Protein backbone atom coordinates (compact mmCIF):
# COMPACT_ATOMS: atom_id res chain seq x y z
CA UNK A 1 0.00 0.00 0.00
CA UNK A 2 1.41 3.37 -1.00
CA UNK A 3 1.59 6.22 1.50
CA UNK A 4 0.70 9.74 0.48
CA UNK A 5 2.99 12.19 2.18
CA UNK A 6 1.91 15.78 2.74
CA UNK A 7 4.82 18.15 2.17
CA UNK A 8 5.73 20.27 5.16
CA UNK A 9 5.03 23.99 5.02
CA UNK A 10 7.80 26.21 3.70
CA UNK A 11 9.51 28.47 6.27
CA UNK A 12 7.68 31.55 4.92
CA UNK A 13 4.30 29.78 5.06
CA UNK A 14 4.98 28.56 8.60
CA UNK A 15 5.88 32.10 9.67
CA UNK A 16 2.68 33.44 8.12
CA UNK A 17 0.59 30.82 9.91
CA UNK A 18 2.27 31.51 13.25
CA UNK A 19 1.92 35.26 12.87
CA UNK A 20 -1.79 35.00 12.12
CA UNK A 21 -2.30 32.64 15.05
CA UNK A 22 -0.62 35.09 17.41
CA UNK A 23 -2.53 38.08 16.05
CA UNK A 24 -5.85 36.27 16.34
CA UNK A 25 -5.05 35.43 19.95
CA UNK A 26 -4.12 39.02 20.72
CA UNK A 27 -7.38 40.20 19.20
CA UNK A 28 -9.50 37.67 21.06
CA UNK A 29 -7.70 37.60 24.41
CA UNK A 30 -6.32 41.13 24.59
CA UNK A 31 -2.74 41.96 25.55
CA UNK A 32 -0.45 38.98 26.28
CA UNK A 33 3.15 38.38 27.32
CA UNK A 34 5.54 36.36 25.17
CA UNK A 35 5.25 33.54 27.72
CA UNK A 36 1.47 33.56 27.42
CA UNK A 37 1.73 33.51 23.63
CA UNK A 38 4.07 30.53 23.91
CA UNK A 39 1.57 28.67 26.10
CA UNK A 40 -1.48 29.48 23.99
CA UNK A 41 0.15 28.79 20.61
CA UNK A 42 2.26 25.81 21.62
CA UNK A 43 5.22 27.32 19.78
CA UNK A 44 8.78 27.29 21.05
CA UNK A 45 10.25 30.25 22.88
CA UNK A 46 12.63 31.20 19.99
CA UNK A 47 9.75 31.00 17.48
CA UNK A 48 7.60 33.28 19.62
CA UNK A 49 10.49 35.71 20.08
CA UNK A 50 10.97 35.84 16.30
CA UNK A 51 7.30 36.44 15.56
CA UNK A 52 7.02 39.14 18.21
CA UNK A 53 9.98 40.97 16.67
CA UNK A 54 8.55 40.49 13.17
CA UNK A 55 5.11 41.79 14.10
CA UNK A 56 6.61 44.79 15.90
CA UNK A 57 8.69 45.65 12.84
CA UNK A 58 5.54 45.44 10.72
CA UNK A 59 3.79 47.92 13.01
CA UNK A 60 1.08 45.42 13.94
CA UNK A 61 1.84 44.96 17.64
CA UNK A 62 3.45 47.08 20.34
CA UNK A 63 4.32 46.95 24.02
CA UNK A 64 1.25 48.14 25.90
CA UNK A 65 2.31 47.54 29.50
CA UNK A 66 3.86 45.04 31.89
CA UNK A 67 2.53 42.09 33.85
CA UNK A 68 3.70 40.09 36.83
CA UNK A 69 4.40 40.77 40.47
CA UNK A 70 7.46 42.94 39.93
CA UNK A 71 6.38 44.26 36.50
CA UNK A 72 9.97 44.38 35.31
CA UNK A 73 12.11 42.64 32.75
CA UNK A 74 11.52 41.37 29.18
CA UNK A 75 9.25 38.52 30.32
CA UNK A 76 6.83 41.01 31.87
CA UNK A 77 6.22 42.95 28.66
CA UNK A 78 2.62 42.90 27.46
CA UNK A 79 2.04 43.01 23.72
CA UNK A 80 -1.12 44.24 22.03
CA UNK A 81 -2.34 44.95 18.53
CA UNK A 82 -1.75 48.50 17.33
CA UNK A 83 -5.37 49.57 17.06
CA UNK A 84 -4.45 52.74 15.13
CA UNK A 85 -2.68 50.68 12.44
CA UNK A 86 -5.83 51.05 10.35
CA UNK A 87 -9.25 52.65 10.54
CA UNK A 88 -12.41 51.27 9.03
CA UNK A 89 -15.99 52.40 8.56
CA UNK A 90 -19.43 50.87 8.62
CA UNK A 91 -22.42 52.46 6.88
CA UNK A 92 -26.07 51.63 7.48
CA UNK A 93 -27.95 52.92 4.44
CA UNK A 94 -31.73 53.21 4.81
CA UNK A 95 -34.57 54.63 2.76
CA UNK A 96 -34.76 57.62 5.13
CA UNK A 97 -31.03 58.30 5.56
CA UNK A 98 -27.83 56.71 6.73
CA UNK A 99 -25.66 56.16 9.80
CA UNK A 100 -21.85 56.03 9.88
CA UNK A 101 -19.45 54.50 12.39
CA UNK A 102 -15.65 54.80 12.16
CA UNK A 103 -13.67 52.29 14.22
CA UNK A 104 -10.07 51.23 14.73
CA UNK A 105 -8.51 47.89 13.78
CA UNK A 106 -9.94 46.26 16.91
CA UNK A 107 -13.45 47.37 16.02
CA UNK A 108 -13.64 50.00 18.76
CA UNK A 109 -15.88 52.90 17.78
CA UNK A 110 -14.02 56.19 17.45
CA UNK A 111 -16.79 58.38 15.97
CA UNK A 112 -20.40 58.03 14.84
CA UNK A 113 -22.87 60.22 12.96
CA UNK A 114 -26.21 60.00 11.16
CA UNK A 115 -27.99 61.94 8.45
CA UNK A 116 -31.72 61.91 7.61
CA UNK A 117 -32.98 62.18 4.02
CA UNK A 118 -36.37 62.84 2.50
CA UNK A 119 -37.60 60.03 0.27
CA UNK A 120 -37.58 62.35 -2.75
CA UNK A 121 -34.06 63.68 -2.16
CA UNK A 122 -32.02 64.33 -5.31
CA UNK A 123 -29.67 61.41 -6.01
CA UNK A 124 -26.51 63.46 -6.57
CA UNK A 125 -27.22 65.64 -3.54
CA UNK A 126 -27.70 62.58 -1.32
CA UNK A 127 -24.44 61.02 -2.52
CA UNK A 128 -22.45 64.21 -1.93
CA UNK A 129 -23.88 64.73 1.54
CA UNK A 130 -23.28 61.08 2.48
CA UNK A 131 -19.63 61.16 1.38
CA UNK A 132 -19.10 64.47 3.16
CA UNK A 133 -20.53 62.96 6.36
CA UNK A 134 -18.20 59.95 6.06
CA UNK A 135 -15.16 62.21 5.61
CA UNK A 136 -16.14 64.42 8.54
CA UNK A 137 -16.71 61.41 10.80
CA UNK A 138 -13.37 59.92 9.74
CA UNK A 139 -11.62 63.14 10.71
CA UNK A 140 -13.42 63.24 14.05
CA UNK A 141 -12.15 59.71 14.70
CA UNK A 142 -8.60 60.98 14.34
CA UNK A 143 -7.96 59.12 11.09
CA UNK A 144 -6.47 60.54 7.92
CA UNK A 145 -7.67 57.67 5.74
CA UNK A 146 -9.80 54.52 5.85
CA UNK A 147 -8.54 51.04 5.14
CA UNK A 148 -11.88 49.30 4.49
CA UNK A 149 -15.54 50.31 4.30
CA UNK A 150 -18.55 48.03 4.68
CA UNK A 151 -22.01 49.18 3.62
CA UNK A 152 -25.31 47.62 4.60
CA UNK A 153 -28.29 48.43 2.38
CA UNK A 154 -31.73 46.99 1.68
CA UNK A 155 -32.16 45.09 -1.56
CA UNK A 156 -30.30 42.42 -3.49
CA UNK A 157 -26.53 42.46 -3.76
CA UNK A 158 -25.46 40.94 -7.06
CA UNK A 159 -22.75 38.35 -6.31
CA UNK A 160 -21.28 38.78 -9.79
CA UNK A 161 -20.82 42.55 -9.73
CA UNK A 162 -20.84 43.34 -5.99
CA UNK A 163 -23.39 46.07 -6.68
CA UNK A 164 -27.01 46.62 -5.73
CA UNK A 165 -29.58 45.19 -8.08
CA UNK A 166 -32.44 47.52 -8.92
CA UNK A 167 -35.46 46.91 -6.70
CA UNK A 168 -38.70 48.81 -6.71
CA UNK A 169 -39.25 51.37 -3.98
CA UNK A 170 -35.59 51.88 -3.02
CA UNK A 171 -33.85 55.24 -3.50
CA UNK A 172 -31.55 55.52 -6.50
CA UNK A 173 -28.78 57.06 -4.39
CA UNK A 174 -28.11 53.76 -2.59
CA UNK A 175 -26.38 52.09 -5.51
CA UNK A 176 -24.67 55.27 -6.71
CA UNK A 177 -23.22 55.93 -3.26
CA UNK A 178 -21.41 52.61 -3.26
CA UNK A 179 -20.08 53.22 -6.78
CA UNK A 180 -18.84 56.69 -5.84
CA UNK A 181 -17.20 55.48 -2.63
CA UNK A 182 -15.25 52.90 -4.60
CA UNK A 183 -14.27 55.40 -7.28
CA UNK A 184 -13.30 58.34 -5.06
CA UNK A 185 -11.73 56.73 -2.01
CA UNK A 186 -9.90 53.90 -3.78
CA UNK A 187 -10.23 51.52 -0.82
CA UNK A 188 -12.12 48.23 -0.52
CA UNK A 189 -15.86 48.94 -0.20
CA UNK A 190 -17.83 45.85 0.79
CA UNK A 191 -21.56 45.84 0.12
CA UNK A 192 -23.90 43.52 2.01
CA UNK A 193 -27.63 43.21 2.52
CA UNK A 194 -28.59 44.97 5.75
CA UNK A 195 -30.29 41.91 7.27
CA UNK A 196 -27.19 39.79 6.69
CA UNK A 197 -25.12 42.35 8.61
CA UNK A 198 -27.62 42.38 11.46
CA UNK A 199 -27.28 38.59 11.64
CA UNK A 200 -23.49 38.94 11.82
CA UNK A 201 -23.89 41.28 14.78
CA UNK A 202 -26.34 38.96 16.55
CA UNK A 203 -24.02 36.00 16.02
CA UNK A 204 -20.93 37.80 17.31
CA UNK A 205 -22.45 40.03 20.00
CA UNK A 206 -26.09 39.18 20.58
CA UNK A 207 -28.83 36.58 20.71
CA UNK A 208 -27.15 33.97 18.47
CA UNK A 209 -23.71 33.80 20.09
CA UNK A 210 -24.28 30.17 21.03
CA UNK A 211 -25.67 29.16 17.62
CA UNK A 212 -23.93 28.25 14.39
CA UNK A 213 -27.28 27.63 12.65
CA UNK A 214 -30.11 30.15 12.93
CA UNK A 215 -32.34 32.48 10.94
CA UNK A 216 -32.69 36.18 11.69
CA UNK A 217 -36.18 37.36 10.81
CA UNK A 218 -36.04 41.10 10.15
CA UNK A 219 -39.26 42.97 10.91
CA UNK A 220 -39.26 46.65 10.13
CA UNK A 221 -40.03 48.96 7.21
CA UNK A 222 -39.64 45.81 5.14
CA UNK A 223 -39.32 42.18 6.12
CA UNK A 224 -36.48 39.82 5.31
CA UNK A 225 -34.37 37.01 6.67
CA UNK A 226 -30.71 36.16 7.03
CA UNK A 227 -29.78 32.50 6.87
CA UNK A 228 -26.76 31.20 8.79
CA UNK A 229 -26.10 27.47 8.42
CA UNK A 230 -23.19 25.69 10.11
CA UNK A 231 -21.59 29.04 10.91
CA UNK A 232 -21.73 30.37 7.35
CA UNK A 233 -23.97 33.08 5.95
CA UNK A 234 -25.90 31.79 2.94
CA UNK A 235 -26.55 34.42 0.29
CA UNK A 236 -28.02 32.27 -2.48
CA UNK A 237 -27.14 32.00 -6.17
CA UNK A 238 -28.40 35.51 -6.96
CA UNK A 239 -27.79 37.08 -3.55
CA UNK A 240 -31.44 36.82 -2.61
CA UNK A 241 -31.56 34.15 0.08
CA UNK A 242 -33.96 35.35 2.75
CA UNK A 243 -36.02 37.76 0.61
CA UNK A 244 -39.19 36.53 2.27
CA UNK A 245 -41.00 39.79 1.70
CA UNK A 246 -41.80 38.28 -1.72
CA UNK A 247 -43.14 35.05 -0.18
CA UNK A 248 -46.66 34.69 -1.66
CA UNK A 249 -49.50 34.53 0.84
CA UNK A 250 -52.59 32.44 0.12
CA UNK A 251 -55.90 34.26 0.05
CA UNK A 252 -57.60 37.02 -1.93
CA UNK A 253 -55.55 39.78 -3.48
CA UNK A 254 -52.74 40.00 -5.98
CA UNK A 255 -49.46 38.15 -5.93
CA UNK A 256 -46.12 39.91 -5.53
CA UNK A 257 -44.06 40.60 -8.65
CA UNK A 258 -40.33 40.51 -9.29
CA UNK A 259 -40.08 44.23 -8.49
CA UNK A 260 -42.88 44.70 -5.94
CA UNK A 261 -43.44 42.58 -2.83
CA UNK A 262 -46.98 43.89 -2.21
CA UNK A 263 -49.14 40.82 -1.89
CA UNK A 264 -46.34 38.88 -0.23
CA UNK A 265 -45.31 38.42 3.41
CA UNK A 266 -44.29 42.09 3.41
CA UNK A 267 -47.95 43.05 3.06
CA UNK A 268 -48.80 40.87 6.04
CA UNK A 269 -46.03 41.74 8.51
CA UNK A 270 -44.26 44.87 7.25
CA UNK A 271 -44.46 48.05 9.28
CA UNK A 272 -47.16 49.67 7.12
CA UNK A 273 -49.42 46.64 7.56
CA UNK A 274 -48.89 46.56 11.31
CA UNK A 275 -49.56 50.29 11.59
CA UNK A 276 -52.88 49.78 9.84
CA UNK A 277 -53.69 46.87 12.14
CA UNK A 278 -52.80 48.97 15.18
CA UNK A 279 -55.13 51.76 14.13
CA UNK A 280 -57.93 49.23 13.66
CA UNK A 281 -57.42 48.25 17.31
CA UNK A 282 -57.37 51.84 18.54
CA UNK A 283 -53.61 51.88 19.10
CA UNK A 284 -51.72 55.07 18.11
CA UNK A 285 -49.62 54.47 14.98
CA UNK A 286 -49.08 57.77 13.22
CA UNK A 287 -45.68 58.85 11.96
CA UNK A 288 -43.90 59.82 8.77
CA UNK A 289 -41.73 56.75 9.41
CA UNK A 290 -43.84 53.57 9.36
CA UNK A 291 -41.08 51.55 11.02
CA UNK A 292 -40.88 53.97 13.96
CA UNK A 293 -44.68 54.06 14.21
CA UNK A 294 -44.94 50.27 14.23
CA UNK A 295 -42.17 50.06 16.84
CA UNK A 296 -44.06 52.49 19.06
CA UNK A 297 -47.36 50.67 18.50
CA UNK A 298 -45.86 47.33 19.57
CA UNK A 299 -44.38 48.90 22.68
CA UNK A 300 -47.69 50.58 23.52
CA UNK A 301 -49.58 47.31 23.04
CA UNK A 302 -47.23 45.42 25.37
CA UNK A 303 -47.43 48.12 28.04
CA UNK A 304 -51.24 48.25 27.82
CA UNK A 305 -51.77 44.47 27.47
CA UNK A 306 -53.51 44.78 24.10
CA UNK A 307 -53.75 41.01 23.72
CA UNK A 308 -55.98 40.88 20.65
CA UNK A 309 -53.60 43.04 18.64
CA UNK A 310 -50.48 41.24 19.86
CA UNK A 311 -51.93 37.82 19.07
CA UNK A 312 -52.70 38.85 15.50
CA UNK A 313 -49.19 40.29 15.09
CA UNK A 314 -47.68 37.07 16.46
CA UNK A 315 -49.84 34.96 14.15
CA UNK A 316 -48.79 36.98 11.11
CA UNK A 317 -45.12 36.67 11.98
CA UNK A 318 -45.52 32.96 12.68
CA UNK A 319 -46.94 32.39 9.18
CA UNK A 320 -43.75 33.64 7.55
CA UNK A 321 -41.62 31.92 10.17
CA UNK A 322 -43.34 28.60 9.51
CA UNK A 323 -42.46 28.82 5.81
CA UNK A 324 -38.82 29.52 6.65
CA UNK A 325 -38.53 26.75 9.23
CA UNK A 326 -40.30 24.22 6.99
CA UNK A 327 -37.54 24.62 4.40
CA UNK A 328 -34.48 25.18 6.60
CA UNK A 329 -35.32 23.75 10.05
CA UNK A 330 -32.77 26.06 11.72
CA UNK A 331 -33.84 25.31 15.29
CA UNK A 332 -33.49 28.97 16.26
CA UNK A 333 -35.27 32.08 15.02
CA UNK A 334 -34.10 35.55 16.08
CA UNK A 335 -36.60 38.42 15.75
CA UNK A 336 -34.79 41.59 14.67
CA UNK A 337 -35.61 44.96 13.18
CA UNK A 338 -37.64 47.70 14.80
CA UNK A 339 -40.64 45.46 15.45
CA UNK A 340 -38.66 42.54 16.79
CA UNK A 341 -36.72 44.87 19.06
CA UNK A 342 -39.86 46.57 20.37
CA UNK A 343 -41.61 43.25 20.97
CA UNK A 344 -38.76 41.75 22.99
CA UNK A 345 -39.42 38.63 25.02
CA UNK A 346 -43.17 39.26 25.09
CA UNK A 347 -43.57 39.12 21.31
CA UNK A 348 -41.03 36.30 20.91
CA UNK A 349 -42.99 34.14 23.36
CA UNK A 350 -46.24 34.71 21.47
CA UNK A 351 -44.62 33.95 18.11
CA UNK A 352 -43.08 30.81 19.59
CA UNK A 353 -46.45 29.58 20.80
CA UNK A 354 -48.21 30.29 17.50
CA UNK A 355 -45.36 28.74 15.52
CA UNK A 356 -45.55 25.54 17.59
CA UNK A 357 -49.25 25.32 16.76
CA UNK A 358 -48.75 25.42 12.99
CA UNK A 359 -45.37 23.70 12.57
CA UNK A 360 -44.13 20.33 13.89
CA UNK A 361 -40.53 21.54 13.89
CA UNK A 362 -39.07 22.60 17.22
CA UNK A 363 -37.84 26.16 16.85
CA UNK A 364 -36.64 28.40 19.64
CA UNK A 365 -37.72 32.01 19.08
CA UNK A 366 -35.54 34.72 20.59
CA UNK A 367 -35.64 38.52 20.44
CA UNK A 368 -32.59 40.22 18.99
CA UNK A 369 -30.42 41.83 21.65
CA UNK A 370 -27.97 44.01 19.70
CA UNK A 371 -30.60 46.73 19.34
CA UNK A 372 -31.19 49.46 16.82
CA UNK A 373 -27.55 49.55 15.73
CA UNK A 374 -27.39 45.92 14.62
CA UNK A 375 -26.81 46.72 10.94
CA UNK A 376 -24.13 49.28 11.76
CA UNK A 377 -22.46 46.88 14.22
CA UNK A 378 -22.49 44.18 11.57
CA UNK A 379 -20.97 46.54 9.01
CA UNK A 380 -18.12 47.47 11.38
CA UNK A 381 -17.50 43.80 12.18
CA UNK A 382 -17.40 42.97 8.47
CA UNK A 383 -15.02 45.80 7.68
CA UNK A 384 -12.83 44.84 10.64
CA UNK A 385 -12.64 41.22 9.51
CA UNK A 386 -11.64 42.23 5.99
CA UNK A 387 -9.04 44.72 7.23
CA UNK A 388 -7.52 42.19 9.60
CA UNK A 389 -7.40 39.56 6.87
CA UNK A 390 -5.51 41.98 4.66
CA UNK A 391 -3.09 43.22 7.34
CA UNK A 392 -2.60 40.05 9.35
CA UNK A 393 -1.71 37.88 6.35
CA UNK A 394 1.89 38.59 5.32
CA UNK A 395 2.47 38.79 1.60
CA UNK A 396 5.38 36.77 0.32
pTM of the model: 0.89
How far apart CA 341 and CA 55 sit, in angstroms, is 42
Which candidate, 372, 374, 381, places its Cα nearest to that of 108?
381
Contact yes or no for 146/187 (Cβ under 8 A):
yes
How far apart CA 303 and CA 99 sit, in angstroms, is 30
The pLDDT tens digits of the residues spanning 187-228 come to: 999 999 999 999 999 999 999 999 999 999 999 888 999 999
263 plus 352 within the same structural domain: yes
Question: How many structural domains are present in the chain?
Answer: 3
Any domain includes 296: yes
DSSP string, 31-47: SEEHHHHHHHH---HHH
Q: Which of 55, 81, 107 is the last residue of a domain?
A: 81
How far apart CA 149 and CA 190 sit, in angstroms, is 6
251 plus 348 within the same structural domain: yes
CATH number, domain containing residue 291? 3.30.420.40
How far apart CA 76 and CA 34 sit, in angstroms, is 8
**Residue 286 has what pLDDT?**
78
The pLDDT tens digits of the residues spanning 336-362 come to: 999 999 999 999 999 999 999 999 999
CB atoms within 10 A of CB 109: 15
Residue 5 has pLDDT above 50, yes or no: no
The pLDDT tens digits of the residues spanning 50-86 come to: 999 999 999 999 999 887 655 555 678 999 999 999 9
Expressed as residue numbers, the domain containing 322 is 207-369
Q: Which of 81, 106, 133 is the last residue of a domain?
A: 81
Who contacts 255 (Cβ-Cβ below 8 Å, separation ≥6)? Answer: 248, 263, 264
CB atoms within 10 A of CB 255: 11
Any domain includes 5: no
245 plus 348 within the same structural domain: yes
Which candidate, 196, 87, 204, places its Cα nearest to that of 151?
196
The pLDDT tens digits of the residues spanning 315-330 come to: 999 999 999 999 999 9
Amino acid sequence: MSVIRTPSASPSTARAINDRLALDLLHREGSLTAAQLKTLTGLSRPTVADLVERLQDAGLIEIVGEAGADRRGPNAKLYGIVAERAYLAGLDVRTHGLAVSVADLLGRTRAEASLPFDLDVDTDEAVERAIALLKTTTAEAGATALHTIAVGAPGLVDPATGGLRHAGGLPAWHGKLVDELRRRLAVPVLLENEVNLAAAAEQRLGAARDRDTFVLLWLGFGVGAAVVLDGSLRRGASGGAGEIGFLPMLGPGRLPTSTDCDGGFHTLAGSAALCELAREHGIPASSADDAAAAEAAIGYAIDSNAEDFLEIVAERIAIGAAAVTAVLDPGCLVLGGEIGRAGGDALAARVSRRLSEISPLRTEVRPGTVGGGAVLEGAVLTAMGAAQDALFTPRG
